[in-house]
Structure 1
Amino acid sequence: MESKKYTKLINFLLEELAIPAAAISLALRHVEQTPSLLPMVLWQYGLITVTQLNQIFDWLEVAS
């Protein structure tokens, strides 16, 4: 994932979905090698709901 889009994704998570920065930071530590897995890691750790996961995927589809 390109860094500009990745930054926009982080901002979307923080501002639109109100995901706590600590939750995003935790997930980022687990996806250093593959940043595109960030939404799945957030969900796997119970940091977002399935509804939020779907919102992220919808956002990623439009942002592409």
Structure 2
Amino acid sequence: MNSNKKQPSEKSLMIHAALKQAVADALDKKSRLGQYAVLWENNGMFFKGSEAPEISRK
């Protein structure tokens, strides 16, 4: 396994920032429209928002 970590290029940093902004904008829009979002965290799916359905985790 290669443990050398290179610094990301300026272009990669710009792409990363653009993607983060796009996701933030989409989540904000869903929130303002009263919609919920489906997210993935800690190896599991969860719903976020005022209209999010309740699900039981097994």
Relative to the length of structure 2, the TM-score reads 0.35
Q: Which has the higher contact order (CA 8 A, sep 6+)?
A: 1
Which structure is higher in helix share? 1
- Structure with the greater alpha carbon radius of gyration: 2
Which structure is higher in strand share? 2
